[in-house]
Structure 1
Amino acid sequence: MSERYIIGVDGSEHSKKALAWGLARASERHASVELLHVADDSFLSESVAFLSEAQKASEQMLAAESEYAKGLGYDGPISGTAVVGHPIAEVEEASKRADLLVLGAHSGSRFAGSFFGTRAVKIAAVAHCPVAVIPAEYEPRENGPVVVGVDGSEGSKKAIAYAAAEASRRGVPLVAVYAWMPPLTPGLEYLWSEELVESQRSAAEEAIAIGVAGLAERYPDLEVRREIVQAAPVSALVQAAEDAALLVVGSRGRGGLTRLLLGSVSHGVLQALPCPTVVTRQ
């Protein structure tokens, strides 16, 4: 059964970048594509007339983006959904029927319909499938490595599995990055000795070893590079992914309202976006 991609569109140049990325990936993997446009009803009157006009505008936007997709040379099947509602809630619901959700990254707008961007952080926190966020300035780096963040958590194990499959399919190296920083509690610097630093490094090496265990058997031709960096995790991942084709990070995957807490590392990476970034689900 083929994968199903949902690509968020809003008519902006940023979403067009995400659309091009998503269509190229769908073409390579023979995935089905659904375009999704949500007219944000936050600033609309609740009258039937206003909502009807908003729905009509949403459908017109979707039709225009579908034509744009065809203009990119994509000849696969494209379906579309145009709705009026709360963007986060509508996209979360749509993600239940997707294998990958693709969004553009930009600052967004208060106007109805233009929402993919800063809200990508919140969407990544609540989505039921992996979320790919594409930076506006992105240029394809087909031969770049796939970078993945490792921290020993269950979330990072899912991220490693996803990243390894990506790297193997692309025929590029997998770069597993473990970043750590000593506690910065003022006045306690004296507690840090060479022995403690070495202990932390040993823990990092163990976490990476556990994280990549089994990859050699599953992907015998996959080159795995291990990087242990004494730096803030976000800056370490962003720097490692400067020339990458893809960056993969895990989410907390917690339930209820706490799902809005994506995690400081995932959140920070999505704010910086050195390359297309996928947030996996725990």
Structure 2
Amino acid sequence: MMNVRQGPPAIVVGIDADGTGQGSGALRYAIGQARARGSWVRMVHVAPSVLPEGGMWPTQARETTYLRRAGQQVLDRAVSNARTSAPDVQVDPLLGHGPVVPELVAAAADGALVVLGRESRRGLERLITGATTLGVTERSSVPVVVVPADWEPSDHGRVVVGVKSPGGAGELLSHAFATAAVLGSELRVVHVKEAPEAGAAPGHGTDEQSTARMLETAVHEWSAAFPDVPVETSLLHGEPVAALLGAATDGDILVLARHHRDLRHLVRLGPVPRAVLGSSTTPVEIVPLNGSPETAPLVLERSGAFLKT
């Protein structure tokens, strides 16, 4: 189903059956990202492979033809509306057919990121679409941004990144700094130290100081590689989900990691990112990590000029 074109990688946005991408928030976000990156938008709609229960057709071929035609109509309407509202952004359609999650993952494989809407409906429909969002987020090889259905562009000028382990945050910080640089935003790096359970022995101050130093050191190394990105670090206390949601309220996006699955991380997406995805009013970007350590590039200063190697 892939169409290939030259130039910057696409911003891929999923379009649902009503042609809105789970509300227009996701499409607005995708268009804004395309503008900021000098890129373009690939609008993807996946037609189902079978009719809803109760649908009857004489042959499977006629059923497939009907579903493809209906899916193409949905996509054509969505693309037409997008081109009218954002004539300065190149928009290309892509129609998939079959299981939604694999089709969306494949459509985004050569993109810069994939944007999905977090819809607000209830009941079985929300359960199904929620499973699609989670499935793509857990399987995509590129970052996935989940956007509330009613999201409107903000002008905070701030990217917020939540770091779970300061000592091994190289991959995530690399992405966060690069994102802030592209968007011309400042970067806020936060680490949440969870409050001890009732009755547990209190933590040592030296442990907290050590964590803070590790966070500052990791951020300083990447800050030297991105001198034009203003950055601050925050060591927060409390329940992680609530702390991250609070930190993101004055941000344009909250960036979190999806760990490479190994013996330490048996599940693709942890419970904290899952919970944040389900309730954040700020777009949440999930960055897939490949499991290899990454260090900041060596930066030498010569006569006031930074040379990256």
Equivalent AA in structure 2 for residue 106 of structure 1: E
Equivalent AA in structure 1 for residue 189 of structure 2: A
Deviations for 1:138-165, whole angstroms, at most 9, x for unmatched residues?
2222233110001226874322222222
Indicate conservation of the 8 Å contact 1:8/1:116, yes or no: no
Equivalent AA in structure 2 for residue 74 of structure 1: P
Instruction: Quote how far apart the aligned CAs of 1:238 are.
Output: 0.6
Partner of 1:3: 9
Partners of 1:175 and 1:202 in 2: how far apart?
19
Equivalent AA in structure 2 for residue 32 of structure 1: W
User: What pairs up with 1:1-282 in 2 under 5 angstroms?
Assistant: 1-10=7-16, 11-12=19-20, 14-41=22-49, 44=52, 47-107=60-120, 117-152=130-165, 156-184=169-197, 188-189=199-200, 191-192=201-202, 196-254=203-261, 261-282=268-289
Partners of 1:78 and 1:214 in 2: how far apart?
38
Instruction: Quote how far apart the aligned CAs of 1:24 are.
Output: 2.1
Instruction: Quote how far apart the aligned CAs of 1:240 are.
Output: 0.6
Aligned to 2:24, the other structure's residue is in SS state helix
Structure 2 portions without partners, runs of 5+: 1-6, 290-309
TM-score by length of 1: 0.85
- Structure with the bigger RCO (C-alpha within 8 Å, sep 6+) is 1
Instruction: Answer with 1 or 2: which has the greater Rg.
Output: 2
Partners of 2:173 and 2:128 in 1: how far apart?
30
Partners of 1:225 and 1:51 in 2: how far apart?
54
Which range moved further: 30-39 or 157-166? Answer: 157-166
Deviations for 1:12-50, whole angstroms, at most 9, x for unmatched residues?
373422112111221232213211001233654782222
What count of residue pairs does the alignment treat as equivalent? Answer: 273
Partners of 2:116 and 2:38 in 1: how far apart?
19
Aligned to 1:148, the other structure's residue is in SS state strand
TM-score by length of 2: 0.78
Indicate conservation of the 8 Å contact 2:14/2:115, yes or no: yes
Instruction: Quote how far apart the aligned CAs of 1:90 are.
Output: 1.2
Structure 1 portions without partners, runs of 5+: none
Aligned to 1:213, the other structure's residue is in SS state helix
Aligned to 2:135, the other structure's residue is in SS state helix
RMSD after superposition: 2.8
Which range moved further: 208-217 or 143-152? Answer: 208-217
The 1:145–1:136 alpha-carbon spacing in structure 2 relative to 1, beyond 3 Å, is same
Instruction: Quote how far apart the aligned CAs of 1:75 are.
Output: 3.1
Greater fraction of residues in helix: 1
The 1:74–1:17 alpha-carbon spacing in structure 2 relative to 1, beyond 3 Å, is farther
Partners of 1:197 and 1:61 in 2: how far apart?
58
Aligned to 1:214, the other structure's residue is in SS state helix
Deviations for 1:226-279, whole angstroms, at most 9, x for unmatched residues?
111111221111101112111111111227xx8863111211111112311211
Partners of 1:75 and 1:172 in 2: how far apart?
22
The percentage of aligned residue pairs carrying the same residue is 24
Equivalent AA in structure 2 for residue 84 of structure 1: H
Partners of 2:135 and 2:120 in 1: how far apart?
13
Indicate conservation of the 8 Å contact 1:102/1:133, yes or no: yes
Instruction: Quote how far apart the aligned CAs of 1:93 are.
Output: 1.8
Partners of 1:15 and 1:200 in 2: how far apart?
45
Aligned to 1:2, the other structure's residue is in SS state coil
Indicate conservation of the 8 Å contact 1:132/1:278, yes or no: yes
Partners of 1:34 and 1:154 in 2: how far apart?
36
The 1:9–1:21 alpha-carbon spacing in structure 2 relative to 1, beyond 3 Å, is same
